[in-house]
Amino acid sequence: MASTINDVAKLAEVSRQTVSRVINEPSLVNPKTLEKVQRAIEILDYHPNVTARLLVNKRVKTMGLFMPFSADQVRQNLFFATLSSTICQICSQSDFVMQMFTSLSREDSSRFFVKLFKEKQVGGLILTCPSVSNDELIFLLSEKIPFIIIGRPGIMSQQINYVDVNNVQAGDLAIEHLIQYGHRRIGFLNGPANMTLSADLNKGVITAAQRHGAKLDIRESETDLTLDSGYHQALILLKSDQRPTAIFTADDLLAVGVKKAADELGLSIPSDLSLISGTNSGWGNIFPQELTYIDTQFERLGDIAAKHMIRFILEEQPSNLSEVLPVRLVLGQTCASAHE
Amino acid sequence: MASTINDVAKLAEVSRQTVSRVINEPSLVNPKTLEKVQRAIEILDYHPNVTARLLVNKRVKTMGLFMPFSADQVRQNLFFATLSSTICQICSQSDFVMQMFTSLSREDSSRFFVKLFKEKQVGGLILTCPSVSNDELIFLLSEKIPFIIIGRPGIMSQQINYVDVNNVQAGDLAIEHLIQYGHRRIGFLNGPANMTLSADLNKGVITAAQRHGAKLDIRESETDLTLDSGYHQALILLKSDQRPTAIFTADDLLAVGVKKAADELGLSIPSDLSLISGTNSGWGNIFPQELTYIDTQFERLGDIAAKHMIRFILEEQPSNLSEVLPVRLVLGQTCASAHE
DNA sequence: CTGAAAGCGCTTACAG
DNA sequence: CTGAAAGCGCTTACAG
């Protein structure tokens, strides 16, 4: 059996409180005793039982990360891989632990979160939008579960902590860039209609369009952010009469889908078709030329969320987080002047 | 404050042992008492404290998943995303929890694993090769840490549990396929030299080559399994004198790199260059035509490992796991007959 | 079917 | 600087 604090105390001929002190506040211990205890710890290969410790001091140094998608979707979306590894890294720096959860079949997810927290499995949760509906959000608030949303929550409230990328700005910058290049017929592959991401991008697109009057023809298609749906929607757009001369995609996986469709139709990028992506999660590297995209620095989302959660758990101060990160245009070689 | 078992006992006017029974073994409780207690649980919104429970019954229903790579690499490699989400799913079915760890800067990883286990943070670990060196493996064994390797460990031993894909067979099948198509000059983009994956693929390649005598010219290049290294190595191969008529890549991300290089050089697949990948993690969907690849079903690795770990933790029987999953060739349209 | 006793491995005041 | 006492929230035998 593994040795306990009592074993160490016995071997070192001190009380277990002293051993506890050696571990938690060595400066309060007489150097000679300290050494004696440390040697005993060494000999017995003693490791304090985290569980027992938790039971008394109550800081649950664990956070849950909820990724609502199926294995297949997580696999497609590099965003989630980035998120989880970033959060992991931050956790390990502070001796925290990250638990990951994907979609749960058994029960609705918000009940599961409440259970996790109340059972003291986790000290708080990081939820990726749109994993939670507004009803669920309200439920979580009413149950006082500490959580941070990554993305923009569907309802706003002082009590809701979130960190998001400025997708309105992203949509605006992207369309503005295409307009500057003279494009007037623009395809827009957006995400699913129920995501705030999609709503925000759309808002940005409209903002940019309105700045330039009514001569624009912007055609929005809904996708589910997979390669396949990007490919299929792009085919439809590119085969239509008066096909768009440029396409803006919500993310770079969709952009890859567009490229696939363009290749198939013998359209080359950027001479026949300009392409700009609303983010770059890594798929962009596939392009022979550099992809033009909006840099959303979404790695920072995980970083900010995790650090905030750690601070919250350690201090239990319900400080507020509502940050919207600015974005910027990164010029590649997939956009060119429109010519008809 | 959250309510405890004592609060429930008081409200229901029973002892806390009875409450405990209601939760763990309701059949042993008088139906009337049962109902009374359940109502009290409802009213107080009682959730048993997992920590306290653990302290006494000692089953740590948590497993650690170690992904040794940097955030960047995890992002590139869909293999890891698939693995983590699969393991997550399996865990949630058995009320287990998965903790994820990426590379740790602070200390060498095996010491960290020992700590995790001895502190009772995790009941066992799933390690992805080549996250652990042979020395570390030996150390873990000596410390009696329960772990499962995904991939083939560098040293073999009765005590080492692992599950792997038959990469020898994968290499063999791939080269055999190319030979059948008449290819004699074949490029082979392998993984890093220190991975057992690379050694196994190589062994398979050699096996297939030897079956067909010495007329083959197989050129192996080392990559680090990133898109970039695949692209660069492919460029070198394809620009060389007597360029290969076919390329076999260790994985599909490398295959994408080859495609990028081929596009750049104006070589079309499969008429100018046949391409076959040693696995398909999802990148293959990018190809305009179906990618020819070896189906390694690596989703199954996570599934098998997680289920075995759960069984181990629940039963504490040190049953053995050493499984090597067979692979099969999946015909796409990226291979064609060689012609010079 | 139910409860009194003891204990899981630790920490937090409180004395001294 | 150190230890005796009490307790964190639960479960596991053992009586009855």
At residue A247, the pLDDT reads: 97
Question: Which value, to the nearest 10 degrees, does the dihedral of the CA atoms of residues B279, B285, B287, B288 take?
Answer: 140
- Residue among A148, A89, A86, A90 nearest A123 (CA): A148
- Residue among B233, B131, B116, B41 nearest A118 (CA): B41
B51: chain A residues, CB-CB within 8 Å: 51, 54-55, 60, 120
Strand pairing partners for B101? B66
Partner A, chain B 63-92, Cβ-Cβ below 8 Å: 67, 69-71, 74-76, 78, 80-82, 84-86, 88-89, 92
On whether the CB atoms of residues B297 and B165 are closer than 8 A, the answer is yes
CB contact under 8 A, B99 and A104: no
For chain B, the residue count is 340
Three-state DSSP class for residue B221: strand
A62: chain B residues, CB-CB within 8 Å: 99
d(CA A273, CA B302): 41
At residue B98, the pLDDT reads: 94
Please return the burial class of A105, using the count of CB atoms within 10 Å of its CB with bins 0-12, 13-18 and 19+: exposed
- Residue among A337, A29, A50, A311 nearest A183 (CA): A337
d(CA B132, CA B129): 6
CB contact under 8 A, A71 and B89: yes
A29 touches strand C (CB under 7 A): no
Quote the tokens at residue B318: 């040190």
- Residue among B2, B39, B1 nearest B19 (CA): B39
First to last CA, chain B: 79
d(CA B294, CA B326): 10
Count CB neighbours of A28 within 10 A. 10
Q: Which residues contact A36 (CB under 8 A, 6 or more apart)?
A: A12, A13, A14
d(CA A71, CA A303): 23
Q: Which residues contact A246 (CB under 8 A, 6 or more apart)?
A: A178, A181, A183, A185, A186, A187, A273, A274, A275, A276, A335, A338
At residue B230, the pLDDT reads: 93
Q: Which of B54, B76, B264 sits opposite A288 (nearest CB)?
A: B264
d(CA A270, CA A337): 9
d(CA A54, CA B283): 43
- Residue among A159, A285, A121 nearest B51 (CA): A121
Nucleic chain C contacts, protein chain B, residues 49-88, CB cut-off 7 A: 52, 55-56
Q: Which of B102, B118, B256 sits opposite A47 (nearest CB)?
A: B118
At residue B340, the pLDDT reads: 57
- DSSP of A148-170: EEES--SS--TT-EEEEE-HHHH
Chain A interface test: which of B56, B83, B102, B316 (most A C-beta within 10 Å): B102
At residue A280, the pLDDT reads: 87
CB contact under 8 A, B281 and A76: no
On whether the CB atoms of residues A175 and A205 are closer than 8 A, the answer is yes
Supply the DSSP symbol for B57.
H
Question: What phi and psi, each to the nearest 5 degrees, are found at residue A274?
Answer: -90, 150
Three-state DSSP class for residue A304: helix
Domains of chain B: 5-57 (1.10.260.40), 62-165+299-323 (3.40.50.2300), 167-297 (3.40.50.2300)
Q: Which of A52, A101, A281 sits opposite B88 (nearest CB)?
A: A101
Pairing mode of beta strands A147-150, A161-165: parallel
At residue A132, the pLDDT reads: 75
Strands of B328-330's sheet, edge to edge? B217-222, B185-190, B246-249, B274-277, B292-295, B328-330
Is the Cβ of A220 closer than 8 Å to some Cβ of chain B?
no
State which residue has its Cα closest to the C1' atom of C2: B18
A15 touches strand C (CB under 7 A): no
What's the Å distance between residue B17 CA and nucleotide C5 C1'? 12
At residue A105, the pLDDT reads: 59
Q: Supply the angle between the helices B50-57 and A50-57 in degrees, to the nearest 10.
A: 140
Q: How close is the nearest chain B Cα to the Cα of A75, in Å? A: 5
- Residue among A253, A260, A252, A209 nearest A234 (CA): A260
At residue B25, the pLDDT reads: 86
Question: What phi and psi, each to the nearest 5 degrees, are found at residue B241?
Answer: -60, 145
Question: What's the CA angle centered on B187, arms B184 and B193, to 5 degrees?
Answer: 135
Q: Supply the angle between the helices B16-24 and B31-44 in degrees, to the nearest 10.
A: 90
A10 touches strand C (CB under 7 A): no
Q: Which residues contact B315 (CB under 8 A, 6 or more apart)?
A: none
Strand pairing partners for A220? A188
Count CB neighbours of B193 within 10 A. 10
What's the Å distance between residue A132 CA and nucleotide D6 C1'? 43
On whether the CB atoms of residues A140 and A302 are closer than 8 A, the answer is no
Is the Cβ of B248 closer than 8 Å to some Cβ of chain A?
no
Please return the burial class of A45, using the count of CB atoms within 10 Å of its CB with bins 0-12, 13-18 and 19+: exposed
For chain A, the residue count is 340
Which residue type, as a one-letter code, is found at position B295? D
A15 touches strand D (CB under 7 A): yes
d(CA B113, CA A57): 24
A48: chain B residues, CB-CB within 8 Å: 119
Strand pairing partners for B125? B64, B147
Spell out the per-residue pLDDT of chain B, length 340, in tens.
Answer: 678 898 898 888 888 889 988 888 888 888 888 888 888 899 988 888 888 888 887 778 899 999 876 655 655 667 778 888 889 989 988 889 999 988 765 457 888 888 889 888 899 999 987 667 888 889 999 988 999 999 998 888 778 999 999 999 999 999 999 999 999 999 999 998 888 999 999 999 999 999 987 688 999 999 988 888 999 999 999 999 899 999 999 999 899 999 999 999 999 999 999 999 999 888 888 888 899 999 998 889 999 999 999 999 888 666 789 999 999 999 999 999 987 5
Question: What's the CA angle centered on A22, arms A18 and A23, to 5 degrees?
Answer: 120
At residue A83, the pLDDT reads: 86
Q: Which residues of chain A have pLDDT under 50?
A: 106
Q: Which residues contact A126 (CB under 8 A, 6 or more apart)?
A: A63, A64, A65, A66, A87, A147, A148, A150, A302, A305, A306, A309
On whether the CB atoms of residues A112 and A141 are closer than 8 A, the answer is no
Please return the burial class of A52, using the count of CB atoms within 10 Å of its CB with bins 0-12, 13-18 and 19+: middle
- Residue among B255, B140, B152 nearest B194 (CA): B152
Q: A231-236: which pairs have CB atoms within 8 A and are 24 or more residues apart?
A: A231/A257, A231/A258, A231/A260, A231/A261, A232/A257, A232/A261, A233/A189, A233/A257, A234/A187, A234/A189, A234/A258, A234/A260, A234/A261, A234/A262, A235/A261, A235/A264, A235/A265
Pairing mode of beta strands B328-330, B292-295: antiparallel
Q: Supply the angle between the helices A134-142 and A109-118 in degrees, to the nearest 10.
A: 20
